[in-house]
Structures are given as structure tokens and as C-alpha cells.
Chain A
């Protein structure tokens, strides 16, 4: 036998590897092996490397002792695709659509997406639509298959899948059991949707994944799956979920966008119905996608015509937010067997005190929200007041509305170079330490300096309502008159924008060729910031607003 033919024969019959090895190359059984107990003396080959590689040749089920993998602690992973020998498919395909002279190796395997398959765990068979098969392997068809073609082809599951089902202890093969809601095939009569095997369902540990996706609950024992709440209650579970069409269309990639978006624009509020089973298996991922062909199926004929049919296997995202609008909330219950939180004896830690303080502080959240509405500053951040010390009595939270009135009164004060701190009591700058993540004592000068050290900021200047400046106007490259002009411009813009109903403006940004200058104003005080010609780094804008509002208060 030549080496080539020997190699071919081994490739065709991988299960013979073991026997051949045992018969020829392997040393004779040792005494130690012979003395092993009977269940160990039956030689169970360890999982070979190619068994663990997705896409590798599966081992025939006949060569695998069901449950032996479990004994060895090995569990076959769930693959995204099911590899089916082409020969198996060719035998099942109707001859009128099968290409007669196929120049393809029939031992070749076709990778079919698992989610497109309708798997019957009881009989260890699977169904696939012609359309899906055409998308996976078009070269075996003599005629193109319409993406909406619902004819199916049934075939025996390959050995790998059968072994994987056997790994679960044969629970899925129970003929009396009914699968959980999350994996049940409840397709509308007119549309036969492929069954979703919930391999991606639980965002949970492996043992739970196995129990929830592969075990089938008996009628008297409630299922563990989190999506079976309604089934437990005995209420009617809807088979479809109504989802708004508009957000789905918005998320479509450009190549799948409808040819005439205006035609769809005339149908705002249009919805489509998606099979619940299609949603259930993915909802636990936080993201739901459907095949483009499914989207097309659910559309009315006049709308469907607007969409291209190039890539019907493409996945289309459906916003979870939209799904949950109509989704039965009963199905979002936690699992039935979940143990409650453990009650632990309380231990006083350094964090207990602040936790209580924060709880009390946020217990009055509605009042704070009203105060925030009244206040001129509406940024989302909040200053963190450090804990009170003996030398420093706690400062009450300042209400900004009266302060704003005060600032209006001082609007007509002449411009002078006097520091702003002389005009009114200095704000408590120690509260700003949390913003700059520093322990050093702060004053206005240091605060301005620290703002200038924010990433992306080149220079900064603070101008007070009385006209005093803090910072380096020379570095900013602006004269006092131009600063006044900027300030009044920002105020004017802010007032006009506010009149338009957009609320209070935070920043006015002027762009030059190389840099940007942004003006932050609160009343007649503010920061002028020169920064790189790009948006502020994350958090910088918010921090500047926070600092400014504190200084102005």
C-alpha cells in the first residue's frame, strides 16, 4: 500500500486510528493496566485534539461511550456552526434543484449556522431551510433559491452533535419532556422559523448553562430557565413580539438600506412581529439580531420590495429597548431556584458611615432635584464636600438662585483689577479637591492653574463679574477688551439660545485654524479656555462647569 492510499484510507476512517495504533505500534498491555477495575479496563480513548477544534472531524458516535466525556471531565463545546457532510445533504436534496454534475468532493463538510437549524434532540436530527443551505453552499443547487423559501431538508445530526447531546446525559432525548419556553419551537403556521438552540442564552456559569439549555424540565418540576415565568403561572405566552420598524431600519447597514427611504418615512409607527422564540434565546445576551431574511419575511409585500435581497443571511440588530416595550415582563423573572441574598452579621467598616450618609442624602433626592431646577447650573456633576473637621464647620449646600440675584446686582460694577475674592466671601475651595483629586489647599489662583492642567487644555483665564482676571491673559493671547467682547458674546448667545427653549447654554466655542477657544459662563463670570482643535477629552467639560459653578456660588 502506498503512503498516499494509506493516508487516504486513514482520513476516511478516523475511528480506525485507535485500532490500528493498538494493533501495530502500541506496546502490549501492561500488568498494571490489566489489573484495573473493569470499568477502567475498557479502553476509552481520551478526547483527541481535533475533537476539540471547531470544524475538526467529529468522531462517530459509535466510537464514543455516552457519558464517558463527563466521566473524564470533558464536555464538548457548543459550536456556532454544525458541520454536515455534503454527501448527506446531496442525498436528501430534491433532484430538480440539485446540480447534476457536481465537481465537489462529497466528503466536504458544509458549515451551517446553528441558529439556522431546527434541531430535534429526541431523534437527533436537524432541519434546515433550502434558503439557508443555498446561502451556505450555493454550488450544489442548479437553480437559485429564494430567501423566503420555506422548504426544509431533514438530516441526521453529525456525530459530534450527537456526542455533545450525549454529554448532557441524554436529558435532551427524553421523549416525554417538553423543552423550556426559551427553546421551544412555536412558529406561526405560515412562517416556519428555525428553532433556536439556546446555546448563548444564559449569561451564567457553565454548570447553569448546561442545566438550562440542555436539560428539559419534567411537567411536575418547574424549569430553571429564567424565561419560563409565564409558563409557571399557566398564563398564555404570546408567540410574537411587536417591534417598531423604524429603529430597526435606522440600524441597518448601508448595503441593506431600502431603496426608497421616503416610502418608509410615510409609515411612522409601523411595527413588525417577530417570533418570541427568536428573541428569547438572545435576550440574555443584551443584544438581539435576526437574519435579514426574517426581517424581510415579517414585512408587508409592498415594503419588502424596497429592500435589496443581496445578503439575506446578514444579521440585523433589533434594539432591545424596542423589544422590551412589548415583551412579556413575566418572562424576565429571575430563575426559580435562585437563592436569596445571604444575610450576614453587620460589621462596622470605614465605609458604613459614608454609606449611611449617602443614603440619607439621596433619600431627599426629589427636593434636591427641585433645587437643581431652580438653580442656574444644571450640570450632572455634584461637588463632594469633605468631612467636617473641628476647625471647619460643615457648610450648608448653597442655593444658587439667590446668588444669581446677587450677581445681577453687581453687574454694573466698574471693571477693575481687584481680585474677586475681596468683593465677596471666598468660596470653599476645599470642596474642589475632589475634582482635581488633590489634597493640597486650593485658592482661586491654584484652581485656575489646575484647570489649565486638564488634558487637552493649553491655557485658561478666569474673569469675574467685577472684571478681575485670574490666569495669564498673555498666554491666552487676548486683551482685556477682547475678553470682554468674548464674555458679552457668550452671554448674548446664551440668552438667545435660552429664548429658543434649549435651556441654559454651558459653552460657546469659537474655532480658528489651529485651536479652539471656549467660553464657559455663569452669570457674568466665566472661564476662557484655549484648547486643542478637537472635542474636549472625556470629563473635562463637565469638570470645568463644576468648578465654575462652585466658584460662582
Chain B
């Protein structure tokens, strides 16, 4: 559920990067931070342990398009993937508008992918939400591993719900399909919001993130 601030004419959407530990969620969000011009994005807040493991969450605010005179903002969050931090994951998932599930393509991590996906469903269920209602995409990360599991099997495991989700073969360290996945979920979120609120098509706030800042 987006936060609408009528005073400042802003709509905030929350996108959460979910997935098992060490699947590349922080790397993904760091790549997004590095590619977007400073005019569009805020600071990347990362609360991590000394061993580069996400302790609480990563946070990246991004300005986006204009919807009916309202400036939209996207807040990107990651969750700690380690099993013990489930309460934190539940907190981060609150009021989520879109989800990018980052799956690890490593054979040894396949089971963790499945467990994490079930955990996502369970945590959403606790908040009376479901993946049937929330736009989400699947980011099959680490596709550059020499011994990566086939995408067909990952799809069989994770993309077998009644409504098929978009899946992207990604390499977060190189940036492959990182923005494609984010763009897809963003568009789904905006479309859903417009459908629910009977809004017209939005006008882009700026041409593109890659446009040269003045």
C-alpha cells in the first residue's frame, strides 16, 4: 500500500528485494545506486556486519515519475537473508508494494531459494497479503556461475504459481538484468496503483535516469 502525502504531493512505493542469504540482494541494490545519477537517488543506507552480511536492511530512495501531479518515490529495501532474522524480514515487508525475489542459481543454494520463497509467502500471509495481489518478479541471480542450475528447474521451483511471474537471468555483480527486473516490478506497481485509483497514464518526471544531469 503506497504512502500518499497530500501535503508534499508525494506517493511513496516500497519495493523489497527478498531472497536467501548471500543471493546478491545487497549487490543488486548497490549496483542500482551506482548507476542512477545522484539527482535521482538518495544515499544508500546499509547496515551490515563486518563480514558484509546485511544486518538490518539496505535502503535506497529514488525519485520516479509524476502521477496526476503527485511526485512518486520508490524506496528500495533489502532484507537480511539469514534464517534467524525473520522478524526483521517481517518488519521490512510491511506495506510492501512490489517484490523482487533474488534467487541464487548455485546448485547448493537451490533448497535455500525454495525455503526463502516459502518464507516470503508465509510472512506475507501473516500480514494478510499474498503474492497473488502484490506485483513481484524473479531475479535468477549468479547466472555467470560455471555450474549454475538450469533456469527451467528454477522456474519449476519458484515460478509455478497460478499466475506466472516474470523471471530474469541476472548477474548482479555485472549489472545484467538488474534494471530490467526493477523496471518490470516498478511498472507493475504503477499499473496496479493506477488501476486501483482510476488514474491516467503518468508523465515522466525526467526523461530517463541516464540523461545527463544539468
Contact = CB atoms under 8 A, between A and B. Distances in A.
Q: Do A and B come from one complex?
A: yes
A208 to B, nearest CB: 7
Contacts of B114: 203, 284-287
B160 A338 contact: yes
B150 A203 contact: no
Contact of A386 (B34, B53, B117, B162): B34
Given A335-B160, A384-B34, A389-B212, A350 B107 contact: no
B180 A355 contact: yes
Band of interface residues on A: 35 or more
B34 A354 contact: no
Contacts of B176: 358, 362
B43 to A, nearest CB: 9
Contacts of B155: 334
Nearest to A436: B34
Contacts of B191: 344-345, 347
B38 interface: yes
A329 B209 CA distance: 42
A286 B110 contact: yes
Given A205-B130, A455-B50, A347 B110 contact: no
Interface string A385-400: 0111110000000000
A349 B65 contact: yes
A439 B156 contact: no
B158 interface: yes
Contacts of B183: 349, 351-352, 355
Contacts of B147: 321
Interface in B143-177: 144, 147, 149-150, 152-153, 155-166, 173-177
Interface stretch (B1-9, B79-87, B88-96, B200-208): B200-208
Interface string A204-224: 111010000000000000000
Contacts of A205: 121, 130-132, 161-162
Contacts of B211: 353, 387
B141 to A, nearest CB: 13
A332 to B, nearest CB: 5
B64 A350 contact: yes
B165 A341 contact: yes
Interface in A71-91: none
Nearest to B166: A341
B107 A321 contact: yes
B102 interface: no
A539 B48 CA distance: 13
Interface in B6-64: 22, 30-38, 40, 44, 46, 50-53, 62-64
Given A203-B157, A350-B62, A538-B51, A286 B113 contact: yes
A433 interface: yes
Contacts of B69: none
13 contacts: A204-B160, A286-B110, A286-B113, A335-B160, A338-B160, A347-B187, A350-B62, A350-B63, A350-B209, A354-B208, A354-B209, A381-B174, A384-B35
Interface of A: 202-206, 208, 226, 284-287, 319-321, 324, 329, 332-335, 337-342, 344-355, 357-359, 361-362, 380-382, 384, 386-390, 433-434, 437, 439, 455-456, 537-539, 542
- Give the 7 A-B residue pairs with the shortest CB-CB distance, closest first: A353-B208, A434-B34, A286-B110, A355-B179, A286-B111, A287-B111, A351-B183
